[in-house]
Structure formats: C-alpha cells, structure tokens
Amino acid sequence: MIIGHSERRSLYAETDTIVAVKTAQAQESGLNAMICIGEKLEERENGTTNDVLKTQLSAFKDSVKDWSKVVIAYEPVWAIGTGKTATPEMAQETHAYIRSWLT
C-alpha cells in the first residue's frame, strides 16, 4: 500500500494526519506500507528539507507497530515532472538524515 504520495498530498489534500491514520490502518490489517516523504522546491532551496522530513516522519511514527512492514520512500516533490533531478549526493545526504532519524 502506497501512502502519502505527493500527488495524493497535493490533489486530495492528504495531510500528515491522514498519512498517520492510513499507516495505522495498514498495520492493523497486516499490510506492508510504502510511506512517501519529500520536500517541495522552495523547501529544498530554503535549506529546510530535514525539517520537512522530520515533521512528516514524526507524524506517522506512533502509528507504526511493526517497522518490518514499512518502507520509507524519499520522493523529492520538486524533481517530479520538472526536469530537475536530485543528484546522487543530494539523495545520499537525505537518506543519511532519514537513517539518523530512525535511530
């Protein structure tokens, strides 16, 4: 089950609270959940990527009872359909932050 994809967040106003509820429902149903997190271009440019990710991660963490059934997908919203791409260094830096948050 994919939860929190950028298109659902933007087109259907899927908030961090809704992501948390859906995560809890997936867990209760025994489903694996891929939870998408990511920042917009202005957030990347303002240097607030980690703040955005922390807010998104913190919103659903209490809904997770079994982390083995969760995949966190970093989805830089600013790189979708814009022709801009995240460099490998940007992705590694962001993944390092997510791993540090998880520990």
Instruction: Provide the CATH number for the domain around residue 69.
Output: 3.20.20.70
Per-residue pLDDT of the chain (103 residues; tens, 9 = 90+): 999 999 999 999 999 999 999 999 999 999 999 999 999 999 999 999 999 999 999 999 999 999 999 999 999 999 888 888 889 999 999 999 999 999 9
Angstrom CA distances, 38 to 30, 65, 66, stand at 25, 22, 22
Q: What is the model's pLDDT at position 83?
A: 87
Element (H, E) at 92: helix 88-102
Instruction: Number of helices (H) and strands (E) in the chain: give both, helices first.
Output: 5, 3
Q: What is the model's pLDDT at position 81?
A: 83
Q: Which domain holds residue 40?
A: 2-102
Collapse the DSSP code of 70 into the 3-class scheme (helix H, G, I; strand E, B; otherwise coil) and give the result. Answer: strand
User: How many independent structural domains does the chain possess?
Assistant: 1
Is 75 designated active site?
A: yes
Q: What is the model's pLDDT at position 48?
A: 97
Is 42 designated active site?
A: no
Q: Of 7, 75, 93, 95, which is the active-site residue?
A: 75
Q: What is the model's pLDDT at position 82?
A: 84
Q: Could you give the CA distance from residue 44 to residue 61 in angstroms, rounded to a whole number?
A: 23
